């Protein structure tokens, strides 16, 4: 609620008015936020049904599209695949707010919105997120029952159809990294995978937001063999990490999951790249272990501010690469990046 008697603190409007982006919100409030954000920004935002969870809740994504009669490409970003990583949904909401607040004044956002539609899924694992709020703060998986309901939860980020079940997983439902009964055994995984599969020729970039550890992770997790466009993937990620560090000095490591974190199979990032989406990254947001999954809410704002810079750096690069016509608006930093990279393009 907005106290109309208070003077406006900000020159730009809060969208929706009064929503506090620097605290964590339970699912019920995020559902309301999604409805309100589309109602108050109907020229740009539409809310779409993606699928249902195992407990029959609706998974929605928001589409930010500037009206246009020319063909556009898609940037996908999902948050909240792991229930306890609350900073992730907080970032997706922040991201949407920032885009809506600034697309008229920020030349970079204005330009990439001419070419790219942004598909944002604020909370993928809805059941797990609610369970983390109401029952067990550190819950990670979804809430599907196994073994006649004596055991709950599949790690949705081990359940995608990318070398499923081969490494860094468990077949025991009691495990945090239980990979499910088969690839895409879970409705949440299927909802994402079927949608991405359908749109894949238009999706240039797949971003999936996690915490914690301060990493930008490239494919793959299931093998140490680098993808064909590894050099470019690394280069863009390093550029993003540098932009991130420029804001508050937070240092991120960049590299493939299998080489700098651990091996895992069935991740959405690997799968997205394997089906042909050229730019696929996992973000592991703050912190690097002090608070871990229970990142204090006073770090939401700095975390989101710095992550915004990293994510828009990636989107801007992708925009420049596929829509070079916008080159008149390049910043000098981006020019250096482009000149350093376009030669070695080797996309799948």
Ligand X SMILES: *[C@@H]1O[C@H](CO)[C@@H](O)[C@H](O)[C@H]1NC(C)=O
For residues 229 and 277, the answer to whether their CB atoms sit within 8 Å is no
Tokens of 165: 């079940």
Out of 25, 57, 73, 82, the only residue in the binding site for Zn ion (CB under 5 A) is: 82
Q: Residue 82 or residue 321: which is nearer to Zn ion going by CB?
A: 82
Residue 232 binding: pick among ligand X, Zn ion, none (C-beta 5-8 Å cut-off by kind): none
Collapsing DSSP to helix, strand or coil, 258 comes out as: helix
Residue 19 has φ and ψ, to the nearest 5°, of -70, 130
User: For the chain, percent helix, then strand, then coil, each to nearest 5?
Assistant: 40, 15, 45
Q: What is the CA radius of gyration of the chain?
A: 19
| 3-class DSSP assignment, residue 333 | helix
Q: Which is nearer to Zn ion, 156 or 337 (CB)?
A: 156
Kind plus residue range of the DSSP H or E element containing 291: none
Taking the C-alpha atoms of residue 47 and residue 51, their distance in angstroms, rounded to an integer, is: 12
Cβ(285)–Cβ(235) below 8 Å: no
Cβ atoms within 10 Å, residue 32: 13
Q: Which does 210 bind (CB under 5 to 8 A by kind): Zn ion, ligand X, none?
A: Zn ion
Q: Select the binding partner of residue 23 from ligand X, Zn ion, none (C-beta < 5 to 8 A, by kind).
A: ligand X
84 binds Zn ion (CB under 5 A): no
Three-state secondary-structure class, residue 135: coil
- Tokens encoding 153: 């939860």
> Is residue 98 flagged as an active site residue?
no
Q: Is 97 or 210 the residue whose CB approaches Zn ion more closely?
A: 210
Phi and psi at 155, nearest 5°, equal -75, 105
Binding region for ligand X (CB under 6 A): 20, 22-23, 56, 147-148, 161, 172, 174, 183-184, 250-251, 288, 297
Number of residues that bind Zn ion (CB under 5 A): 2
Q: Does 143 bind Zn ion (CB under 5 A)?
A: no
What are the C-alpha distances in Å from 11 to residues 7, 19, 101, 102, 198?
Answer: 11, 16, 10, 12, 41
Binding to Zn ion in span 87-106, by CB under 5 A: none
Cβ proximity to ligand X, 66 vs 288, nearer residue: 288
Name the minimum Å distance from CB 223 to ligand X. 14
- Phi first, then psi: give them for residue 308, nearest 5 degrees: -55, -45
Per partner kind, with CB cut-offs from 5 to 8 A, the member of ligand X, Zn ion, none near residue 22 is ligand X
Q: Provide, rounded to whole angstroms, the least separation between the CB of residue 3 and ligand X.
A: 10
Taking CB under 5 A as the criterion, the residue among 57, 84, 190, 210 binding Zn ion is: 210
Q: Which of 284, 305, 306, 344 is catalytic?
A: 284
Selection from ligand X, Zn ion, none that 172 binds (CB < 5 to 8 A by kind) is: ligand X
Residue 65 Cβ vs Zn ion, minimum distance, rounded to whole Å: 28
CB of 97 to Zn ion, least distance (A): 23
Q: Which does 101 bind (CB under 5 to 8 A by kind): Zn ion, ligand X, none?
A: none
Q: Closer to ligand X by CB, 89 or 183: give it.
A: 183
Residue 282 main-chain phi, psi, to 5 deg: -105, 130
> Cβ of 101: how many Cβ atoms within 10 Å?
17
Our CB check for ligand X shows the closer of 64 and 177 to be 177
Write out the catalytic residue numbers: 284
Q: Under the rule (CB under 5 A), what is the footprint of Zn ion?
A: 82, 210
């Amino acid at each position: 609620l907005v106290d109309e008697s208070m003077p406006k603190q900000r020159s730009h409007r809060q969208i929706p008015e009064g929503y506090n982006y620097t605290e964590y919100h339970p699912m019920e409030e995020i559902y309301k936020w999604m409805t309100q954000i589309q109602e108050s920004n109907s020229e740009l935002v539409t809310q779409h049904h993606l699928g249902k969870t195992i407990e029959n809740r609706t998974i929605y994504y928001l589409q930010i599209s500037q009206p246009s009669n020319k063909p556009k490409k898609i940037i996908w970003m999902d948050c909240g695949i792991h229930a306890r990583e609350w900073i992730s949904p907080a970032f997706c909401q922040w991201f949407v707010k920032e885009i809506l607040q600034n697309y008229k004044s920020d030349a970079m956002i204005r330009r990439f919105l001419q070419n790219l539609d942004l598909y944002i899924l604020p909370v993928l694992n809805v059941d797990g997120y609610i369970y983390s709020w109401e029952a067990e703060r550190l819950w990670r998986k979804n809430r599907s029952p196994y073994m006649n309901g004596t055991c709950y939860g599949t790690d949705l980020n081990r359940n995608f159809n990318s070398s499923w079940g081969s490494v860094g997983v468990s077949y025991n439902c009691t495990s945090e990294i239980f990979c499910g009964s088969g690839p895409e055994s879970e409705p949440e995984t299927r909802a994402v995978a079927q949608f991405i599969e359908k749109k894949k020729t238009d999706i240039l970039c797949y971003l999936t937001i996690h915490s914690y550890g301060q990493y930008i992770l490239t494919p793959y997790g299931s093998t140490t063999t680098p993808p064909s466009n590894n050099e470019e993937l690394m280069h863009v990620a390093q550029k993003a990490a540098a932009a991130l560090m420029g804001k508050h000095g937070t240092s991120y490591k960049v590299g493939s999951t299998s080489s700098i974190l651990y091996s895992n199979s069935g991740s959405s990032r690997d799968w997205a790249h394997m089906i042909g989406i050229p730019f696929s990254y996992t973000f592991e947001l703050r912190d690097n272990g002090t608070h871990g999954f229970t990142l204090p809410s006073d770090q939401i704002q700095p975390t989101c501010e710095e992550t915004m810079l990293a994510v828009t750096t990636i989107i801007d690069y992708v925009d420049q690469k596929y829509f070079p016509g916008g080159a008149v608006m390049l910043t000098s930093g981006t020019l250096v990046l482009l000149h350093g990279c376009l030669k070695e393009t080797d996309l799948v």
